[in-house]
Amino acid sequence: MKRTSKTEEVPEGSGEARSDSKAGHPLSRRKNVLRGAAFIVCVLFLLAAVLFWRLSGQGREGEPVSVPQEAVMAGTAGEGAYFLLSAMEDAQEQIQVESCMALSDGENFSLSGTAQRIPANDDGRFYLFALEVYEESIPEGEEPIAQTEAARNFTLTAAINEYQADSHLYDKFVVAVKQNGRYLAVSTPHYITNPEAIADYTAAFPDVDSIKGLLVDSQKLGTTELDELGVKHAVYNVPLSRLLGPTTDKNYPTITYTYNGKDYKLNGRVVSEYDYAFSTLTEKGIVTTAILLNDKSEDYPQMIHPLS
């Protein structure tokens, strides 16, 4: 008897061949699905293992850690210095600043921090840099204002230089190490958090018995309307364009104000007007908040950034 195949031959061009093979069997399809699921589980397990390895640290405790180059943020054009912020690949490689405070002597401040691991460096030192608020990198040629031995717990102390041209009162500070002859910041920026500690005027904030407040109309200062309304808080807008600049009024001469070694000219007449307004409100027992408005002025175009 002639043996025949289970698969019937179909003439060419007649469409799909019918087959009784196991390829289309439901059990076979389930096996394929299970194989795919097993492959996905294996991939996820490998990814989890790699992530755990990275988070657990690649170096032994206490060894210097090399900062990954891809985590370094280059300075802006022309500065040519490296700066490292929160883009560090491993948070354990970053110095944690615990405090940055003015000292009781009124002349110095200290920045204290901790290091889980000491970043790789050339000389075993931590350096403190003072940056302007707008700077995002350590400028080329910038010198540190303090330094100390690199340790797990450290403190850096420097002078505030209040009222001087190199005042650091409103600067931001970063800790850096020297790596391959260049300074590399290894902390996020921090400011002095208690500037009031060196303030010349330390009067307590006025205590009033009401929260009622108004944006005061200067025409109402000489009337009893504010008293009748029971106003205890006032807001007063001060446009900088009115305040700045010299005056030719002999009765109210130009006021020269020196700040951080630089002289500023203020309009004596305008200052007198605000002095009258604020003293009148104070006599009425009203707490006054002055809001400085950086308004646009043709006389002082430098007050507005050209890209704003």
E strand or H helix at 77 = none
Reported as a single tens digit per residue, the pLDDT across 180-216 is 999 999 999 999 999 999 998 888 888 999 999 999 9
Q: What architecture is the 69-198 domain classified under in CATH? A: Sandwich (2.60)
Contacts of 270 (CB under 8 A, 6+ apart): 242, 243, 247
Name the residue with higher pLDDT: 70 or 92.
92
Encoding tokens for residue 13? 């061009």
Predicted pLDDT of residue 228: 94
Report the distance separating Cα 148 and Cα 306, nearest Å: 41
Domain boundaries, the chain: 69-198, 213-303
Cα–Cα dist 152/172, whole Å? 22
Q: What is the mean pLDDT of residues 90-112?
A: 87
pLDDT at residue 72, as a whole number: 38
What pLDDT is recorded for position 225?
A: 94
Confidence of residue 104 (pLDDT cuts 50, 70, 90): very high
Asked whether the predicted pLDDT for residue 300 surpasses 80, the reply is yes
Position 94 scores a pLDDT of 80
pLDDT higher than threshold 90 for residue 65: no
Alpha-carbon distances of 282 from 154, 273, 288, rounded to whole Å: 47, 14, 7
Q: How confident is the model at residue 63 (pLDDT cuts 50, 70, 90)?
A: very low
Q: How confident is the model at residue 285, as a pLDDT?
A: 94
Query: Residue 193: which residues within 8 A CB-CB, separation 6 or more?
Result: 99, 100, 101
What is the predicted pLDDT for the residue at 37? Answer: 67
Q: What is the pLDDT of residues 214-250, one digit of tens each?
A: 999 989 898 999 999 999 999 999 999 999 999 989 9
DSSP-based three-state secondary structure for 38: helix
Q: How confident is the model at residue 295 (pLDDT cuts 50, 70, 90)?
A: very high
**DSSP string over 51-76:** HHHHHT-SS-TTS-BPPPGGGPEEPS
Decide if pLDDT at 276 tops 80: yes
Q: What is the pLDDT of residue 168?
A: 97
Q: Is the pLDDT of residue 142 over 80?
A: yes
Lowest-pLDDT choice from 106-110, 144-148, 257-261: 257-261
Mean pLDDT of 3-26: 45
Q: Where are the beta strands (DSSP E) in the chain?
A: 73-74, 82-83, 96-102, 108-114, 125-131, 146-149, 153-159, 172-179, 182-185, 213-215, 233-239, 255-259, 262-266, 287-293
Question: Which residue in 8, 150, 166, 282 sits closest to 158, CA to CA?
Answer: 166
Mean pLDDT of 73-96: 47
For 90-128, letters b (16+ CB in 10 Å) and e give bebbbbebeebebeeeeebbbbebebebbbbbeeeebbb
Q: Is the pTM of this model over 0.85?
A: no
**Dist CA 274 CA 295 (whole Å):** 17
Q: Is 66 left (phi over 0), alpha (psi -120 to 50) or beta?
A: beta
- The arithmetic mean of pLDDT across residues 130-152, rounded, is 95
